[in-house]
Amino acid sequence: MKRWTERQAREATALDARDYGAQSQANRESFGTLDRTQIPAQAISKSQVLPYAMHRVWTFGMEDISPTYPGEQEAVRSNYAIQLPYTWEAATYKKFGGSPGGLTFATLSLPGGKEGFYHLDFKANAMLHPYFTMSSRPVNAKHLGIIARLNGVTILETWGAVRGMSSFVLSGVGVGQAGTNVVELAFTFPAAGDNDAVVLDGTSYPWVVAHLWGMQAVVRGTWR
């Protein structure tokens, strides 16, 4: 039980305005040290908490990630691919042969943040070229890599499994600064191997190597 730091008021005590002011001041200054149960429930409510006092959420719909083709990877896209039936206008070996650091396809701006932890959830569907090698030729299994960076620092890096079609939700956490933070999303995959059949794409039949679609992201900043 906390105590007043000023003399307690008693029955029939003479009290002048300065005494009262001192009592009131003592009460106000002891506010932060009171037992939580002693603070009147109506004195502070959730509605009085300033916006973003504790946390903030930034949500990125499909059109926020890629405005021209909502939800789709549009940084590298070849219309040669659609010379073939039953495929998509997407990244081809001819257009993008893979990159260790990945190709940044979306930059997400997080304005109005504070110092704290930033949690990224990224969801997408992926199409990989269904063909991959498991013969005596050099094995060149196809993987789709996803990389996320917070202010240039990698917070997420993964190889996707070899599937013609798949869906995934990935999470990454980093420490951010006050102000505007930036999340970059990148993807990569192995370049075609020397004896990989798909390398002979020529100019007439460029093969789609991979495509991302249905992408959304949410970032949660948490601080005190």
Partner 1 sequence: MSAITNKLPVAGDTATAAAYNAEQSAYTEGTGGLTYLSADNMALGGLDLPQFASGMVFVAADTANIGSSDLNHSSVTTINQTSPPAPVATSPAVAFPSLIATPLNVAVGEVLRVYFQCGAWAGGGGGFPWDSSTFVEQLAPGALGSEINSSWCWVGRVQYASTVTLGVPSGWTDMPGQDDFLSVYGSLVGSALEDCPATAVISAWTMCDSGLGANGSSAAWDIVDAAWQVVSGAFFYTPTSTFGPIYGFRVVFMSGVYHPYFNSATNKNWLVWDELVRPGNRLEIGQGSLTYHVMKEG
Shortest Å, Cβ 154 to partner 1: 21
- Min dist. Cβ of residue 126 to partner 1 (A): 9
Q: How many CA atoms lie within 13 A of 69 on its CB side?
A: 15
Residues in 181-210 that interact with partner 1 by CB under 8 A: 195, 197-202, 204-205, 207-208
Residue 53 and residue 46 in contact, taking contact as beta carbons nearer than 8 Å: no
Q: Select the residue interacting with partner 1 from 1, 2, 3, 32 (CB under 8 A).
A: 32
Residues 59-118 that bind partner 1 (CB under 8 A): 59-62, 69-72, 81-82, 84-90
How far is Cα 183 from Cα 149, in angstroms, rounded to an integer?
5
Residue (of 105, 67, 65, 135) closest to 210 by Cα position:
105
Please say which residue, 132 or 157, places its beta carbon nearer to partner 1.
Answer: 132
Q: How far is the CB of 161 from partner 1 (least distance, A)?
A: 8
The encoded tokens of residue 124 equal: 């997408």
Cβ partners under 8 Å of residue 170, min gap 6: 120, 121, 122, 123, 146, 148, 156, 158
Size of the site for partner 1 (CB under 8 A): 94
Q: Which residue, 182 or 197, is less far from partner 1 as judged by CB?
A: 197
Chosen residue from 53, 173, 175, 178 binding partner 1 by CB under 8 A: 53
